[in-house]
Structures are given as structure tokens and as C-alpha cells.
Structure 1
Amino acid sequence: MTKKLLIIGFVWPEPKSSAAGSRMLQLIEQFLNQDFDITFACAAKTSDNTYDVSQLGLKTQTILLNDSSFDEFISQLKPNVVLFDRFMVEEQYGWRVAEQCPNALRILDTEDFHGLRKARELALKEGVDVTVEHLQNDTTKREIASIYRCDLSLIISEAEIDILTQKFNIDESLLYYLPFLLEPIPEYKINDLPTFEERQHFITIGNFLHPPNYDAVLYLKQTIWPIIRQKLPKAELHIYGAYESQKVTQLHNEKEGFLIKGFAEDVNVVMQQAKICLAPLRFGAGLKGKLVDAMQNGTPCIVSTIAAEGIFNKTDRSLSEVEVNGFIEDNPEAFAQKAVELYTNAELWQDKQDHGFKVLNTRFDNTKFEHDFTQKIEDLSADLKRHRQNNFVGKILQHQTLQSTKYLSKWIEEKNR
């Protein structure tokens, strides 16, 4: 019997533009390894950076928002499993899936905990630490409602698992830890990377449409880079990212060595040219793709606690005690000092580079997750009725009196006729 998976994308995957795009391709590979026949559906427009998933053997389908044509499409497809790419997609299509294919396993890929990112953004604007009130924002309420309505939610960071279970008392049976799923780096690839002496300058990279990335670039420009530049007057900071806007472009200043480079066609090339990667993120959530790119290419990093979250903190020890591929600093002066130290010390740089390879090969080896994830999908599918009975909150949220998104969608559809 053919197993069918429907993935409903928030956007068409763009692995060159964002970590979310790479993450989606990793999930697709996992389900292909489970012998699923996969259809990828999306209401967004494609772009020049869109990855052609059909070359992986996937079927593709353009769908509409607030339109019952989706009901006909999914009722004919009859998927065994439906994967929602972020909670906003579940809000739009989840009730339609539940009505047309009630026995399909519903999985939410959170990408990252959006409510946590919002809480940190609010706290940053207020200049205070994150409080329970910040965490209980409207985005969190919507996202957790989506988690309850689904049978399983994929969580990319252990730190977010802790917050969801400890701060919001979500049952662990609804959550599944599935981080970045990466190929181990063989020794011969490590040996082929450019050496300390062959590299120069600093780099930072990230999709400029993502608010934490723009904030980090601005923070570098105004606060951190002037300190580094004073100590290293010939050094440059190369800033890469997709979808640069005028407010980003105008930050370019050759005299300051602050260079906006724009979209990187090949992140591996630009990352291997750089000596140090800087990631002073002040808010955000999930795992940071820029750190993975840096470690894969042997580029040590100076990062903030938020940037490091979920990458290095496997245990309950503080991040400062964990071996990382650089340094973790939140104070701008200390951040700049460590950047200069790492930039000028070849022995220290090599040591930190080695830590990065170790982190990737021990924490994110895809082969370590594949069997357990396959078993989880099979077990849930076989015992779905009991699983849903144990999730009474989810049943409440599926009740018609609380499905505001459903009736809003129906109203919009009628209005558009």
C-alpha cells in the first residue's frame, strides 16, 4: 500500500535563502527514506531562489487561500500524513484537512517557536528580561493552539522543548525533538578547507526579511564593529543575505570596512573565505543556520546566547561551560574583544574550528534520528485514535465554537465570489 504525504508549505523551499528552506529539504529526505509518495502544495508565489522539489520526485500543487478548491484537492489525494509548514499554515488549512481526511496524521513543523521569538523582541524593545507576560503573547497563543490541534509537533531545539513543557505544561507526547539533520563531515573534507593563514575578514549572513537578522546587522554597525575595527583597522565585515532592502543597502560603508554583499550564490564559498563569523542576535528562536554553515566550512564564530541556543547546550550546563566553535558573549565590548582575540590567534582558531566539527558530527548526524523518527510516525499512525483521546485540549480546539479561522476563511471565500 502506497503511503502518501502532503506537505503544505508556507513558502516554496529556498535553501539558499534561509535555514527554513534547508530544514524543509531535510524533512523531505526523511519522509522519502520512509517510502512516502510526497506532494508539496503551497499558496505562495515562486521566486528566483525557489528550489525545484520535483527533481526529488515530489509532485507539486499550487493551492489557494480561503478557497474550497483545496477541499476537493485533498479529498482526492487522500494523504495518510499531512505536514504543516509553520502554525500559520495549520490555521489556514488544518480544519479543512480534519474535515476531509479525519484519519490523516497531522504533523506541525514549527520551524522555531515563533511565540518565543516574539517575546524576546518585545522584551528587547522594553529593555528588560523576558517575563511570563512576554511569553504569553498573542503569537504564542495561536501557535500553542496549533500544537494542540495537531497530533505531533516537530521542535527543532531542546531549549524550546523545555519551555513548552515547563512554562506551558504541554504534554511531551505532542512534541518531538528533531533538529537539523546533517551529513557527517568526513576527514578528507576537513583537510581540504582553507587554513587560518589563507582566510581573511569577518562575515555575517542571514535573510534580511527575518527581523532578528536585520537587528543584528544594525547592532554590529552601530555598536560592535566600531570596536573591532579600532583594533583591526584593515579588517572588513562582509554582510551577506537574501532580499536586501534599501535600509540594508544604505548601511554599506567602505571606509568603515562594513560591506553589504547581498545574496550569496554559494554560502560555502563565502564562508570558507572568511576567518570569523559574527552572530550577535538579540532576539530569535530555533536553530541558526548561519552557525551550521560556519561550522561546516570550518569558520569559528562569536555569537550571542540566543544565537547559540539549541546548537551547543545539550546538557543543563550553562552555555559558557560547553565547548563551542568560538565564544558566546552578550556584552558588546566582550564580544568585540573575543572577536579580535580569535582573529589574531591561529592556535586558538584551530582549536575552536575542531570543536565545530565535533558539535556537528555528534549532535546533528542525520543517521542518529532516522530510525526513531520513522518508528514514531508508524506508532502514531497505528494508534491515532487513542493518541487523540489523550489530547482532550486538542479536541476542544477542534470544536466548531472555537474555530474562528475556519469561519473567517469561509466568509472571505464568499466575499471573493
Structure 2
Amino acid sequence: MRRNVIPKITTHPIGKRRHNTTTTITIQKEQEIKKKIDSILFLSPTLWPEPNSSAAGVRTTQLLCHFANTVGVSHVSYGSGANLPSSSSSSRSSNNATKEAAHHTMQHLTSQYNISFLHIPPNNAALIQSSLASSLLPNDDNDNEAKKKNIVIFDRFFAEEAYSFHIRKHHPSTLRVLDMQDMHSLRAARSDLVQSFRHGQQPPPFTHTKTKMTQAFMKEIMTYIPSSSSSSSFSSSKVSLKSQDIFLREMASIHRSDVILVCSPYEKYLLQYVYNVPSFKLVLAPFFTTPVPHMHTTSTSSSSSSSLYDYNARSDFVVLGGYKHPPNVDSIHYLQHEIWPLIRSKLPHVNVHVYGAYSPSTLQKQQRRKRLNQQHHHDDDDGFYIKGYVHNLEEELGKRRVLLAPLRYGAGIKGKIV
């Protein structure tokens, strides 16, 4: 059953494969496959899809809608160990606004796509079993013709670790799909390299007080390949045991799964040709979106919709990045202390507006104190504004001239520049 279901998930072009098992299917075969999928369940121990706060949330929401619109899929649901976001809160903070937006997104997905959302804590075996029984129609393992064809999609490898053994035990014929989002072990190793660079472990002239990147060191970060043990190379000696452990866990999760959704072509290449993951298991699945045509309006207009994209009416720089994602936190710190002073020295009247969900309360308080000091003591304004969550991102981007994305490490595809 699993081999027959795989072609349906690989309907998007993914390049030439080395194996012929899933390269071509007839229309009749595809229609037959579609009829076999009864239920698709997404699982995450800690997250709900939040398209208003992260690119990963956008992509997960796109996947949910894609499968909900697929002919022959009876039902799509999403289960998480996190508490369901609420629409009501006495606080007006930007973080609560983010949670409210997530709540409204889930309401929309339920009303428009009939997607259900379930609270499934990973440490409650009884609740997991009952939730699986309700979401995945029970299988009759004694009658192959009566088996229900279900798919479980694990949102990142730690979801597979938390839930997969329940699936294998109670629903052994269910297709298990791992959605990597990005290669976590690659991101973790790159983070270690950046941290070593920041703390002065690089040879002179690098010091902990000056963290400006060089082309040589950036090449070292981008070409590093994770492994389960430290080698004699200088790069490997700076990668932590925790990152090596993440690599082992992630690779184990990959080999336990039937199908792997990979966001980045480079990471698909690594898995197939460096780590020897069978090619028929790998599916390139980046963002499921339609490109927006570029706006080239240059004339001024009285209509707000036209002037929103008028380059002459725009000003300043803008930065995007949720604070739950460590590479974003690092990039904002790097921008504020190393890059922005250089830009401001050349363009003393420009500003940068930093938007991102879940900004720490300490940072928000720091920004408020900074503004008060500027008002009362006439301190110099550095033009660095941390705004937090934004309700209408398109409107804000339409006001700015330049998008900055000074990421020093990461993995996958960067949604902020797509």
C-alpha cells in the first residue's frame, strides 16, 4: 500500500530520479490511488500552524489546504500537544495578537476546508490512542480489501520521535510521512560555527568584539556537512555534541519514515548522495504558492493602492523574522550592532523597521525605555525600531524600499526573501 500511495504525494515536479519506481503513473492509476486515501493527520508535539508568524507556518498551512483540496481525501486534521490558541485575551501585547491571529487562521481552515484541530499531548498514551482511532479510521489487518488508507505527516523530526511508535503499533499500515521543514542538524551545526566565530575561537584577526563575517568563514559555514562524530577538520572540532546528537536523531527519523518532504534542493541532494537515503523516499516540497508579479508603478497617484507600490513614495529599510527562530534572533543582533551603524553612517536619516512575532517582553520594554529617553533627554535616535508583530505585512512592506536579511546561518528555504 505504501509504495502505491507515494506517487500521489509526488505529483509536483521533483527532477529526474535514479529509480523508475515512482517517476511515471497513468491517469487511471492516479485516480485509483486518490480513492484509497481516507484520512490525513498532521502531528506536532509543540506547534500549531501560524502563517502570520513564520514562513514554516505559511508552508504548513499551504500543505493542509493542498491535501484538503485533493480529490479522494476524505478528511484532513492537525493534532498538537500545544494548548489551543484562544481568541480572547485581556492583554494587548503583540504576542497575544499573534495567538489571536493563529486562532482565526484555524477557524478559517475549519470553516473553508473542513480541517479539524485536535489537542494530542505526546506524553498521554491513552489520549493519543483514542485520537488516532477517531482521526485515522481503524484498520482491519485481517482483510486487505477492507484496510483504510491513511497518512500521517510528522511536522519535523521531533514529532516523528514523539508519535511514530504509536502509529506503528496501532495503525501499522498507515503511511508515515516526515515533513522536515529544514534540516535541523545542518542548522544546528552552522549555529555552532557562528557561535565559535562570535566568541573569538577563530584565529586572528577575529575577536569576540568584532563579529563581521568574511567570505572565507561564510564559505566554511555553507559547505560544512554534518556527521555523527567529530573529524580532524577545524570546522568539525567546533560543532557541539548536542548538534551531533540532533544529526543522529534526525537521520534515524528519516530512515523510520516512508516518505520525506524536503524543502531545499541542496538538502535533498545531501540526503540522497551524501547520506544515501533512497531517492524514492525523497520529495522536494518547497512553498506551495503562486508567484506575485512585480509592481513597476512609478507615477504618483492619489489612490492608496497605487501609491503603496510606488517606489518614489517608499522609504527606509525593513527586516522580518520571528523571535522563536534562533537564526532570526542572531541576525537582528548582528544587524543592530555590526551592520546598521555602518549603514547609518552613510545614510544618517534613514531608519530600519524590524517586524517579528513573539518578540521577548524584555526587548519590548527596552525599546519603550529607549524612546522615552529620546523624548525627555533628547538622546540621539539611531533609527533602529523593533516593532514586533504586524497585522498587515503586505502594507508594511509596501512602504519600504529595501528588505534586509542578514542571516549568518540557517537551513531550508528562507521565506522572508521568497
- TM bucket (normalised to shorter chain) is 0.5 to 0.7
Is 1:216–1:280's contact at 8 Å kept on the other side of the alignment? yes
Which residue, 358, 362, 365 being the options, matches 1:243? 358
Residue identity opposite 2:110 in structure 1: S
Is 2:156–2:181's contact at 8 Å kept on the other side of the alignment? yes
Residue of structure 1 in register with 2:66 after alignment: 30
- What TM-score, normalized by structure 1, do the two folds share? 0.66
For 1:288 and 1:109, the matched residues in 2 are separated by 16
Is 1:239–1:261's contact at 8 Å kept on the other side of the alignment? yes
Q: Secondary structure at the match of 1:49?
A: helix
1:286 equivalent to 2:393? Answer no
Residue identity opposite 2:101 in structure 1: N
Residue of structure 2 in register with 1:14 after alignment: 50
- What TM-score, normalized by structure 2, do the two folds share? 0.66
Change (3 A) 1:186 1:277: closer
Which residue, 262, 276, 285 being the options, matches 1:169? 276
Give the number of the structure whose alpha-carbon radius of gyration is greater. 2
Residue identity opposite 1:204 in structure 2: V
* Equivalent runs, 1:185-196 vs 2, <5 Å: 185-186=292-293, 192=306, 194-196=309-311
Residue of structure 2 in register with 1:323 after alignment: none
Residue identity opposite 1:268 in structure 2: E
Query: Aligned pairs, how many?
Result: 291
Displacement of 1:251 in angstroms is: 6.1
For 2:392 and 2:54, the matched residues in 1 are separated by 13
Deviations 1:337-381, CA, capped at 9 Å, x for gaps: xxxxxxxxxxxxxxxxxxxxxxxxxxxxxxxxxxxxxxxxxxxxx
For 1:282 and 1:208, the matched residues in 2 are separated by 15
Which residue, 114, 126, 132 being the options, matches 1:74? 132
Is 1:107–1:150's contact at 8 Å kept on the other side of the alignment? yes
Deviations 1:267-292, CA, capped at 9 Å, x for gaps: 11111111000001011111112112
Displacement of 1:60 in angstroms is: 1.9
Is 2:178–2:259's contact at 8 Å kept on the other side of the alignment? yes
Percent identical residues: 34
For 2:101 and 2:402, the matched residues in 1 are separated by 26
Residue identity opposite 1:95 in structure 2: F
Which residue, 22, 40, 43 being the options, matches 2:78? 40
For 2:67 and 2:174, the matched residues in 1 are separated by 15
Is 1:115–1:137's contact at 8 Å kept on the other side of the alignment? yes
Is 2:155–2:178's contact at 8 Å kept on the other side of the alignment? yes
Is 1:43–1:65's contact at 8 Å kept on the other side of the alignment? yes
Residue of structure 2 in register with 1:59 after alignment: 116
For 2:309 and 2:266, the matched residues in 1 are separated by 33
Is 2:354–2:386's contact at 8 Å kept on the other side of the alignment? yes
For 2:52 and 2:136, the matched residues in 1 are separated by 32
Deviations 1:106-141, CA, capped at 9 Å, x for gaps: 111111111110010011112263445457711111
Is 1:16–1:266's contact at 8 Å kept on the other side of the alignment? no
Residue identity opposite 1:16 in structure 2: N
Displacement of 1:166 in angstroms is: 3.1
Residue identity opposite 2:69 in structure 1: N
Displacement of 1:98 in angstroms is: 1.0
For 2:135 and 2:335, the matched residues in 1 are separated by 49
1:210 equivalent to 2:336? Answer no
Say which is worse superposed, 145-154 or 30-39, in terms of deviation: 30-39
For 2:387 and 2:351, the matched residues in 1 are separated by 12
Residue of structure 2 in register with 1:124 after alignment: 194
Displacement of 1:145 in angstroms is: 0.8
For 2:53 and 2:287, the matched residues in 1 are separated by 16
Residue of structure 2 in register with 1:232 after alignment: 347
Residue identity opposite 1:92 in structure 2: A
Say which is worse superposed, 64-73 or 277-286, in terms of deviation: 64-73
Residue of structure 1 in register with 2:334 after alignment: 219
Is 1:147–1:174's contact at 8 Å kept on the other side of the alignment? no
Is 2:68–2:115's contact at 8 Å kept on the other side of the alignment? no
Displacement of 1:246 in angstroms is: 4.0
Is 1:81–1:104's contact at 8 Å kept on the other side of the alignment? yes
Q: What are the ranges of 5 or more consecutive residues in structure 2 without an aligned counterpart?
A: 1-34, 86-98, 138-149, 198-216, 231-235, 298-305, 372-380
For 2:333 and 2:50, the matched residues in 1 are separated by 24
For 1:251 and 1:38, the matched residues in 2 are separated by 42
Residue identity opposite 1:100 in structure 2: H
Deviations 1:135-173, CA, capped at 9 Å, x for gaps: 771111111111111101100111111222233222222
Q: Secondary structure at the match of 1:223?
A: helix
For 2:135 and 2:289, the matched residues in 1 are separated by 31
What root-mean-square deviation, in Å, do the aligned CA atoms of Structure 1 and Structure 2 show?
2.0
* Equivalent runs, 1:91-130 vs 2, <5 Å: 91-127=161-197, 129-130=220-221
Higher helix share: 1
Is 1:221–1:251's contact at 8 Å kept on the other side of the alignment? no
Is 1:5–1:81's contact at 8 Å kept on the other side of the alignment? yes
Change (3 A) 1:31 1:175: same
Residue identity opposite 1:235 in structure 2: V
Residue identity opposite 1:87 in structure 2: F
Is 1:111–1:156's contact at 8 Å kept on the other side of the alignment? yes
